[in-house]
Structure 1
Amino acid sequence: MDLLINVGLPLSLAIIMLSLGVGLHVDDFKRVLSRGYPFAIGALSQVVLLPIAAFVIVKLFALPPEIAVGFMLLSFCPGGVTSNILSKLAKGDVALSVSLTAVISLLSMITVPVLAAWSIAHFMGEDAPEVSITGLAIAMFLITTLPVAIGVSLRHFATGFARKIEGPLSKAATGLFVLIVLAAVAGNWQLLVDNLGIMGAGLISLCVSLLLIGLGLARLAKLSWDESKTISIETGIQNSTLGITLAALITGTESGFSPLALPSAVYGIMMYVVALPYIAWLRSR
């Protein structure tokens, strides 16, 4: 189990982020400058409103400290490849989705360690493990920012090779994601059983509220319908693998998968249950 957490988990996330980077173009970053307003609305939803909504849900459901921290860690994570795929399925603005995923994923190296340290201190108090913001930032750089940068570089300088490996990388990323989620759930099975009702209700409430918050904000900002669908999905769909990895980085591996990882693991399964009917509704509009 220690080998899976210490080596397999970070390596899996790095491969997932590399697969994201390989699918990106330099133009995806340049597009932020030409479409600043829709991007700003999406960034506001993800970086600011998402953690606020998670904090409210945690307080409303009076979640246990470790589960509460797990919720907050999930809310700090950017969208991943899944949000891009769902935006395409919803007939949204895929270019905007990709730009948001790319930039917010890179910025997470700065935002996530600070917010994670705060949430642990706030909810766990004296029981909080010691968190090194610098250590988390370095780890985030190595397993998220660097793989994305490598992937983008491959796409730009070795386009043929990047296209050749994009499919296998995507399949590998999907398989690793499923393995990580199942391992995290199995490693915290009793905690899951004890808290499934309240945690499930909280996660469903969080996912639904975020999808609607993103959509409502985009409509208030008078974005196009395609842009609004994308903002909604980018706000409501998080990179749960990063949440699981963060939990392991924070608590260590002495006792297997951290309980802090459980909300992200359950969310990794549940988000499809919530999102797919919502996507069907968006497609029908």
Structure 2
Amino acid sequence: MESSALITIGLPSALAIIMFGLGLTLTIGDFRRIGRSPRAVLVALALQLFALPALAFGLIELFDLAPLLAIGMMLLAASPGGTTANLYSHLFRGDVALNITLTAINAVLAAITVPIITNFAIGYFGADGEVGLQFGKVVQVIAIVLAPVAIGMIVRRFSPAFATAADRPVRIFSVGVLALVSVGALVAERDDVADYARQVGLVTALFCLSSLALGYTGARLLRLARPQAIATSMEVGIHNTAVAMTIALSVLESSEAAIPAAVYSVLMYVLAAAFGFLITRTDRAADDSVDRVPAVH
């Protein structure tokens, strides 16, 4: 893919603003909350850091994706949960405080996990001649992911009024950037977009649904409360795809590697909403059936 100012400067700058906006919503208290519900945090992080990459890897092998699309899938799996997970968790009565805590932790961990998982994918899928993530680019990932979050948190600490006022404009900007990057990635590969949709459409849909289900059922099997299970499900299933696409386009310089995240960015909102309605109805039906059981005297 040909480099341009939009890709090399515009996208990283836009992502930095998005991550700065994320920082404006976080406080040190969000990290301290780990001590109040450590098991819920550990369960969600284990699913996100270990189960998701394993799930993506399995789907890649099953569908035999091309190397760059495979790298894009692993980059998608490594990308942190997005702030949209907080909204979906709120809509379906999840533990939003847990979502906020996980978002804060993931924003920090992503600076480490994204380069590790992406480098593994580049080496394993044999795309060294086409893309690369050397030390300098790892530093670039840290700079555009972690540093703006820290700056946003500092601004909120000393100017909460500004943080509150900037929240809505930054969210609107984030949605706009995500839409532009998604369209841009698809346009850049317009000659092959139908083939890519055939290759990764089903894979990304299965990955999204499996991630949502894994987050919910995994949390329930490990005896977390229903609100925590819903929060975990949304955090694991809804990704900050702007991170994945920006790294693919501006760091790896590959529009093909951005395709899985671009497709996922469209699917995840629809599938997450459908999944939320499903588990809400299922849980309500289960509660009703329990209420109808006659008491034994």
TM-score band by shorter chain is over 0.9
Aligned residues: 280
Is 1:276 the counterpart of 2:273? The answer is yes
Q: Quote the residue 1:261 is aligned against.
A: 258
Instruction: Trace 1:75-94 onto structure 2 (pairs within 5 A).
Output: 75-94=77-96
Q: Quote the residue 1:24 is aligned against.
A: 26
Which 10-residue stretch deviates more, 162-171 or 41-50?
A: 162-171
Q: Quote the residue 2:98 is aligned against.
A: 96
Is 1:172 the counterpart of 2:169? The answer is no
What code does the residue aligned with 2:181 have? I
CA contact (8 A) 2:40 2:228 kept: yes
Whole-angstrom CA distance in 1 between matches of 2:248 and 2:222: 35
Q: Quote the residue 1:156 is aligned against.
A: 157
Q: Quote the residue 1:6 is aligned against.
A: 8
TM superposition outliers: structure 1 runs of 4+ over 4 Å? none
- TM-score, length-normalised on structure 2? 0.90
Whole-angstrom CA distance in 1 between matches of 2:74 and 2:89: 24
Q: Quote the residue 2:223 is aligned against.
A: 222
Is 1:236 the counterpart of 2:237? The answer is yes
For structure 2, the residue ranges without an aligned partner over 5 or more in a row are: 284-297
What code does the residue aligned with 2:279 have? L
Alpha-carbon offset, residue 163 of structure 1: 0.9
What code does the residue aligned with 1:76 have? A
Q: Quote the residue 1:43 is aligned against.
A: 45
Alpha-carbon offset, residue 128 of structure 1: 4.5
CA contact (8 A) 1:66 1:124 kept: no
**Change in 2 beyond 3 A, CA 1:150/1:272:** same
Q: Cα RMSD between the aligned structures?
A: 1.5
Whole-angstrom CA distance in 1 between matches of 2:133 and 2:191: 26
Alpha-carbon offset, residue 281 of structure 1: 2.1
**Change in 2 beyond 3 A, CA 1:250/1:163:** closer
Alpha-carbon offset, residue 135 of structure 1: 2.0
Identity %: 34
What code does the residue aligned with 1:266 have? V
Deviations 1:179-220 (A, max 9, x none): 111111111122221121231010111111111111111011
Deviations 1:99-147 (A, max 9, x none): 1111111111111112111101111255453320x22331122111111
Alpha-carbon offset, residue 9 of structure 1: 0.7
Instruction: Trace 1:70-149 onto structure 2 (pairs within 5 A).
Output: 70-125=72-127, 127-132=129-134, 134-149=135-150
Whole-angstrom CA distance in 1 between matches of 2:268 and 2:217: 19
Q: Quote the residue 2:57 is aligned against.
A: 55
CA contact (8 A) 2:122 2:128 kept: no
- TM-score, length-normalised on structure 1? 0.94
Is 1:205 the counterpart of 2:202? The answer is no
What code does the residue aligned with 1:152 have? M
Q: Which has the larger radius of gyration?
A: 2
Whole-angstrom CA distance in 2 between matches of 1:73 and 1:141: 15
Alpha-carbon offset, residue 151 of structure 1: 1.2
CA contact (8 A) 1:24 1:152 kept: yes
What code does the residue aligned with 2:25 have? G
Q: Quote the residue 2:183 is aligned against.
A: 182
Alpha-carbon offset, residue 87 of structure 1: 1.2
CA contact (8 A) 1:46 1:235 kept: yes
Whole-angstrom CA distance in 2 between matches of 1:34 and 1:126: 44
Q: Quote the residue 2:289 is aligned against.
A: none
CA contact (8 A) 1:12 1:177 kept: no
